[in-house]
Amino acid sequence: MERVKIAERTTNFLRRISQRHEHVAKQLGQPEPSRIRIESGKEVQLTGWEPEVDEGAATMEKQTFEDRSVLYVKTGPALSLGVWRMRALLDPAAIV
Ordered DSSP codes for 35-87: EEP--TT--------EEEEEES-EEEEEEEETTEEEEEEEE-SS--EEEEE--
Query: Residue 40 and residue 54: Cα distance in Å, rounded?
Result: 35
Q: Are residues 20 and 38 in the same domain?
A: no
If pLDDT is split at 50, 70 and 90, which confidence band does 21 have? very high
Q: What is the pLDDT of residue 94?
A: 55
pLDDT tens digits, 45-55: 888 899 988 88
Amino acid at 5: K
Whether 40 and 23 share a structural domain: no
| Together in a domain, 93 and 48 | yes
Q: Supply the range of the domain harboring residue 22.
A: 1-30
61 plus 26 within the same structural domain: no
Q: Which amino acid is at 55?
A: E
